[in-house]
């Protein structure tokens, strides 16, 4: 298990709980993104972590609100903009967040605070999202005369629909938790104190599931999105054919017939 400046990783009941802690607001600096890459490397290889949960540390807050992530580190981005070299930094963030979206283990984000800009873009990459009812999301980049650069223009419309996504990106208005839930941007909205327990409960349940089949679902959805249905069905066929050859698929069928809980091994 690695040692990090901005992250801690704890394994519990098949879940890797990753806490992000760069006060005051978990701004996405180069150093934080570099460490996040290493955390992903660790969790991906760790057999004791079948599901990953990411939450913000308790001290991540402003004077007025609890935060999950305040977005990109503007001081670093300002230097990149002034030097005309923002594309390299932006592309790095895009690739890292896409890695989370395609992560081979199920990922859950515990939004135990508000997330704006790159923070919302980070949250959207997780497979499942649990949000505090007191928190807000948002893509306020337009107020700085820029646009979302870590995938917001692509993922927000796909998750909540083109019309509301355009509204929130063009105005820069914040997205309240209940609006995020209504539009499918998050899976659950609960009181702040219940966010992490809810995320962990969900993750522990998923950790009992079949890892290979879970990975195939993630791959089928990611590879099929944006393709015509006929092409997506071929992707599904490929994944279905592969997963039926696994030991877990045999175990699942046997457990069903024997009326007992299955014991999945990820094989």
Does residue 131 have a pLDDT over 80? yes
Q: pLDDT tens digits, residue range 73-88? A: 888 877 766 666 678 8
Which segments of the chain are extended strands (E)?
Answer: 7-12, 15-20, 51-56, 67-69, 106-111, 114-116, 128-132, 136-138, 174-176, 188-190
Residue in the block written with tokens 């009941």: 13
β-pair type (174-176, 136-138): antiparallel
Q: pLDDT tens digits, residue range 98-107? A: 999 999 999 9
Check 5, 12, 44, 121 and give the catalytic one.
121
Q: What is the mean pLDDT of residues 26-51?
A: 97
Cα–Cα distance, 159 to 154 (Å, whole number): 9
Does residue 204 have a pLDDT over 90? yes
Termini Cα distance of the chain = 24
Q: Which residues contact 69 (CB under 8 A, 6 or more apart)?
A: 20, 25, 26, 27, 28, 56, 60, 113, 115, 116, 118, 119, 122, 123
Tell me the percentage of the chain whose pLDDT exceeds 90: 84
pTM above 0.75, yes or no: yes
- In this structure, are residues 105 and 51 in contact, taking their beta carbons and an 8 Å threshold? yes
* Topology (CATH) of 7-207: 2-enoyl-CoA Hydratase; Chain A, domain 1 (3.90.226)
Specify whether 141 is catalytic.
yes
Q: pLDDT tens digits, residue range 145-159? A: 999 999 999 999 999
Q: What is the mean pLDDT of residues 194-204?
A: 98
Specify whether 48 is catalytic.
no
Q: What pLDDT is stored for residue 84 in this prediction?
A: 66
Check 44, 59, 133, 141 and give the catalytic one.
141
């Amino acid at each position: 298990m690695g040692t990090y400046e901005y992250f801690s990783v704890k394994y519990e009941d098949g879940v890797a709980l990753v806490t992000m802690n760069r006060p005051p607001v978990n701004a996405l600096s180069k150093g934080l993104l570099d460490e996040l890459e290493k955390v992903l490397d660790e969790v991906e290889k760790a057999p004791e972590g079948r599901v990953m949960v990411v939450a913000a540390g308790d001290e991540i807050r402003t004077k007025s609100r609890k935060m999950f992530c305040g977005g990109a580190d503007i001081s670093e981005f300002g230097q990149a903009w002034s030097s005309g070299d923002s594309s390299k930094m932006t592309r790095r963030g895009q690739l890292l967040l896409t890695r989370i979206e395609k992560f081979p283990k199920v990922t859950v984000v515990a939004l135990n605070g508000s997330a704006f800009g790159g923070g919302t873009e980070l949250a959207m990459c997780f497979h499942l999202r649990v949000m505090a009812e007191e928190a807000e999301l948002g893509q306020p980049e337009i107020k700085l005369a820029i646009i979302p650069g870590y995938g917001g223009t692509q993922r927000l419309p796909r998750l909540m629909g083109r019309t509301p996504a355009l509204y929130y990106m063009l105005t820069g208005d914040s997205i309240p938790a209940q609006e995020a839930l209504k539009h499918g941007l998050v899976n659950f909205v609960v009181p702040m104190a219940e966010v992490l327990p809810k995320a962990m409960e969900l993750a522990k349940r998923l950790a009992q599931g079949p890892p290979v089949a879970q990975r195939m679902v993630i791959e089928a959805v990611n590879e099929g999105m944006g393709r015509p249905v006929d092409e997506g069905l071929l992707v599904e066929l490929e994944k279905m054919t592969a997963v039926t050859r696994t030991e877990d698929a045999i175990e699942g069928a046997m457990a069903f017939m024997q009326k007992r809980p299955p014991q999945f091994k990820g094989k």
